Amino acid sequence: MTDTTTPPRFSDVFDTEVAGRWSAPGRVNLIGEHTDYNDGFVLPFAIDRRTTVTVGRRDDRLLRVASSFEAGVHEMSLDDLDPASMSGWSAYALGIAWALSVARDRADSPSFAAAGGDLSTIDLSAVPGLDLFVESEVPVGAGLSSSAALECSVAVAFAELWALDVNRSALAAVGQLAENEAVGAPTGIMDQSASLLGRTDSGVFLDCRSLDADVVDLGFAAAGLEVLVVDTHVEHAHATGGYVERRTSCEKGAAALGVDSLRDLDADDLGRAEELLDDETFRRVRHVVTENQRVLDTVRTLRTDGPRAIGHLLDASHVSMRDDFEISVPELDLAVATAQATGAVGARMTGGGFGGSAIALVPTEARADVEAAILAAFAEAGHTAPTVFTVHAAEGARRDA
Q: Please, are residues 273 and 265 in contact by the beta-carbon 8 Å criterion?
A: yes
Q: Which is nearer to ligand GLA, 33 or 231 (CB)?
A: 33
Size of site (CB under 6 A) for ligand GLA: 11
* Residue 191 annotated in active site: yes
Report the distance separating Cα 155 and Cα 44, nearest Å. 20
Q: Decide if residue 45 touches ligand GLA (CB under 6 A).
A: no
44 binds ligand GLA (CB under 6 A): no
How many alpha carbons fall within 13 Å on the CB side of residue 395? 6
Burial of 6 (0-12, 13-18, 19+ CB in 10 A): exposed
Question: Which one among 34, 49, 74, 168 touches ligand GLA, defined by CB under 6 A?
Answer: 34
Span of 31-39, 58-66, 297-305, 309-317 interacting with ligand GLA by CB under 6 A: 31-39
Shortest Å, Cβ 290 to ligand GLA: 14
Choose, from 191, 231, 315, 324, the residue flagged as catalytic.
Answer: 191
How far apart are the C-alpha atoms of 306 and 114, rounded to whole Å?
31
Does residue 33 touch ligand GLA according to CB under 6 A?
yes
Based on the shown chain and the rule CB under 6 A, indicate whether residue 37 belongs to the binding site for ligand GLA: yes
Judged by beta carbon, residue 32 or residue 83, the one nearer ligand GLA is: 32
Q: Does 209 bind ligand GLA (CB under 6 A)?
A: no
36 near ligand GLA (CB under 6 A): yes
Beta bridge partners of 131: 56, 64
Q: Which residues contact 51 (CB under 8 A, 6 or more apart)?
A: 23, 24, 25, 26, 134, 135, 136, 137, 138, 146, 149, 150, 153
Verify binding: residue 203, ligand GLA, rule CB under 6 A.
no
Under the binding rule (CB under 6 A), the answer on residue 24 touching ligand GLA is no
Maximum separation of any 2 CA atoms in the chain, in Å:
72
Mark residues 345-374: x for contact with ligand GLA by CB under 6 A, - for none.
------xx----------------------
Among 27-35, 226-234, 254-262, 377-385, which window interacts with ligand GLA (CB under 6 A)?
27-35
The single residue among 8, 83, 188, 355 that binds ligand GLA, judged by CB under 6 A, is: 188
Number of H helices, E strands in the chain: 12, 12
Candidates 14-22, 33-41, 209-217, 224-232; binding stretch for ligand GLA (CB under 6 A): 33-41
CB 290 within 8 A of CB 257: no
**Residue 266 CB neighbours (<10 A):** 11
Q: What angle do CA 89, 199, 48 make, to 5 degrees?
A: 50
Please report, as ranges, the residues that interact with ligand GLA according to CB under 6 A: 29, 33-34, 36-37, 187-188, 190-191, 351-352
List residues with catalytic annotation: 191
